Structures are given as C-alpha cells and as structure tokens.
C-alpha cells in the first residue's frame, strides 16, 4: 500500500474511502474537524506551504491512522 505523500492526496484518499456512505460529506466534515483539532490541518482548506511538507503530512497520516483510517494513494 502506498500512502499519500501530500495533503491533497490524503484528502482524495479519504473522500474515496467515505464515498460509499450516504452521508459522506457530513462524515468527512466530522473527521476533518477532529483532524483540525488534533493537527491544526484543515483538509478542506489546504495551505500551499503545508501540502507537501513532510512533517505535516506525517502528522496528519498519523492522526488518521490512529482513528482507523490508514489510507493509500488514489
């Protein structure tokens, strides 16, 4: 499994993972809120300097892994 290496990649992978759910948008919002509170990163509004920052991407992937969302690049 190849993990996404950018925040845009993480967002795409997460959206794909949730896409089968009827309330995908609401679920993404809940998860994104938790992510913002934990990491300071908002996947809906990705700051350009954050997108490819390795430490930021690592931190977000770590938080998502901890919440049970180990993602692969889509």
**Using the rule CB under 8 A, which residue among 16, 30, 62, 72 binds other proteins?**
30
Among 1, 2, 37, 48, binds other proteins (CB under 8 A): 37
Q: Cβ distance 6 to 51 under 8 Å? A: yes
Residue 44 CB burial class (10 angstroms; 0-12, 13-18, ≥19): exposed
40 binds other proteins (CB under 8 A): yes
Counting contacts by CB under 8 A, is residue 19 touching other proteins?
no
- Return residues touching other proteins (CB under 8 A): 22-23, 26-27, 29-34, 36-40, 42, 44, 66-69
């Amino acid at each position: 499994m190849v993990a996404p290496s950018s925040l845009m990649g993480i967002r795409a992978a997460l959206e794909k993972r949730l896409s089968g759910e009827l309330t995908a948008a609401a679920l993404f919002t809940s998860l994104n809120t938790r992510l913002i509170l934990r990491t300071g990163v908002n996947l809906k509004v990705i700051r350009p300097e954050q997108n490819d920052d390795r430490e930021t991407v690592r931190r977000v992937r770590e938080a998502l892994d901890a919440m049970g969302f180990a993602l692969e690049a889509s």
